[in-house]
Chains A and B, each alone.
Chain A
Amino acid sequence: MMKVRNHEDLRRTHLPVVKSGGKVCGASHGVSFSALVILAFILMAPARQAGAQTFSLSSAPGGITLTVGGGGNRYSGQFGTMNALGIGTPSAGVTVIPLSNGALYYTPYRLTVTGLAANHKAGVTGFVSTNFGHPAALIMQSCPSTSSCNSSAQFSAMSTIAGAPTTIVPAPGIGNSTVTAGLAIFLPDNNGATAFTGLDTARLSLTMTDLTNNQVVGTIEIRLNSPQGETVQDAVRLTLATASGGLTVTPSADFSMNFGNVNGLGFGPGAGLTTVAAAGGVIYSTPYVLQPTFTDFTSTTATIKTFVSTNFAHPAVLQLRDAAASAGPYTNIGTTAGTATQITNTAANRSSITRFLGLFVSNTNGATAFAGSDAATLTFTLTVP
């Protein structure tokens, strides 16, 4: 741990004078002048300023590594690689909270104050002294020491104005002790003109003030640029979900859907299914939901296609069809990537698209007829141009 020493020069210059009062009296300036000087310093000196006041930072358990430099009042570190969907494992010391409009990457850090006079309390404020070069993509946030700093609601955007800093250690402040606060970078969903991927950095300035006498104890700079800084990656996600009144979509490798017992006459469709007449058989239909999510792309829309990547063992009897409406019309889903069926080319980020999946069951009898279980796999592809 490195410490910032304030008023150090003041103490080196004048305290020996106070301590050597007798010798001062013997100086050539005369008794009356020396007495005035002593009196003046007694009056000017902060009350009960007993020792060196220090304000320091340190890494918190589970937090990023903060490396000290710049004479002890500059710390550096990084949040590493991030994405606005919160996908993947964040860098060491960083925790990610995926949100409905982005992702919050946060880390705890420690603030320590020593040397405060007895009964004095210190508070800390901070602001972003050099903001990220892409402030629409990365937003610095702070959590006060009075919070546990492990949920997004405890963080708020950090001020970028020196004159109106963000409170980190609020009044009534802390005595000589160590507290933990939180730093975070919020990556909002960010598509379109402000989309950004790549490396960015920022600098923060933290100031500790003795709240008892309103004197600044020290100022520290945090540079989020070492060894590299913050790398923003674009990210995509496509999930499927159960639609109201539809078959259950089960999230398992990646998703599954069971039409249950079906027959070529459409008798007794199971829960979540309706039947639609079709030449040569019947279609069992269910709604389902596609949920595309993507961020940091210049395009604000995406394309979703699907194809039968593994067909039924009895493709003449069972076929997968797609429709925009329950009643159809249903069209056969392509069976190769090259003939994939396009569901939409205007999918918006975090939208929910209800689509209808039809299972055609042939009414064929004879040698090619089949009764029993069968399965196929659809591959959905979300592409952001």
Chain B
Amino acid sequence: MKKYFMIFALGMMALSTAAFAATTAVNTNTVSPTLQISATIQKAVQLTLSTGTAAVTHCAVTPTGGTPDYTMNFGTVDALGINTGNCNKFNPAVPGTDNAIYWSDYNLTPVFTSHTAISGTNITAQVTTNFGVSNIFIVRDSANSSTVPAGAASFTAVSTGTPDTIAGPGVTSGTALTRFIGVAVTPANGATVGTGAQSATVTFTLTVQ
């Protein structure tokens, strides 16, 4: 009996499939190693600007690839609306009293992913570096809409303090928004006014919430 048991045992050993690490096996024709894949998903936000398509003419939004991120040039402007500028303008209702507005449309495209709360998402604008002279300032369309402004009264100065909400709450990821921005040139005179090339910086902020 013991002899038969030994024979049986040897036979089973010879026939058995031996598996070692899951990467190798003998006495069989298949092996199945595993690969564990891990990743950490992060929330992501993106806000890009591009040249508008709504107004009659458009000042180009040019990405610099550096700092600042984009530039827009209104060209040569004046408080009486004599110069045509690079895109659109509203002449002062009363020259020498009211401002001339040189403006353009532009597009804002917010994109965000992996956010569970999005209903309060908005975009704000703020003048973070103002012009160095007092007779020019940044303006935006007061309506914060894609409707093309009808006149100079449709524009409001962009805040240099608390950011202005220009879209939302409730903007949609991936959907471009048309807005309007410009410069108002005042008829002021005096020591603080200036001429020549001037620049200011507006910071747009997308907040997903």
A→B interface (CB under 8 Å): 81, 83, 85, 87-88, 197, 231, 233-240, 249, 253-265, 267, 281, 284, 294, 297, 309, 314, 317-318, 320, 357, 359, 361-367, 369-385
Contacts and interface: CB of A to CB of B under 8 A. Distances in A.
Residue among B20, B33, B43 with the most chain A CB within 10 A? Answer: B33
B41 A374 contact: yes
Contacts of B34: 253-255, 309, 377-380
Interface of B: 14, 18, 20-44, 46, 111-116, 118, 173-174, 208
B36 A376 contact: yes
A380 B34 CA distance: 6
Given A374-B39, A377-B36, A385 B29 contact: yes
Given A87-B25, A236-B29, A372 B41 contact: yes
Contacts of A262: 39-42
Given A366-B118, A382-B31, A384-B30, A254 B39 contact: no
A290 to B, nearest CB: 10
Contacts of B208: 365
B37 A377 contact: yes
Given A87-B18, A253-B36, A254-B23, 19 more contacts: A83-B26, A87-B20, A87-B25, A197-B27, A236-B31, A239-B33, A254-B22, A254-B33, A257-B35, A258-B37, A258-B38, A264-B44, A314-B41, A359-B37, A364-B114, A370-B41, A371-B41, A379-B34, A384-B29
A257 B34 CA distance: 11
A256 B44 contact: no
Contacts of A362: 113-114
B46 A377 contact: no
Contacts of A83: 26
Contacts of B41: 261-264, 314, 317-318, 361, 370-374
A260 B42 CA distance: 10
Contact of A88 (B26, B111, B115): B26
Given A231-B14, A265-B44, A240 B37 contact: no
Given A254-B34, A366-B116, A237 B23 contact: yes
A381 B23 CA distance: 10
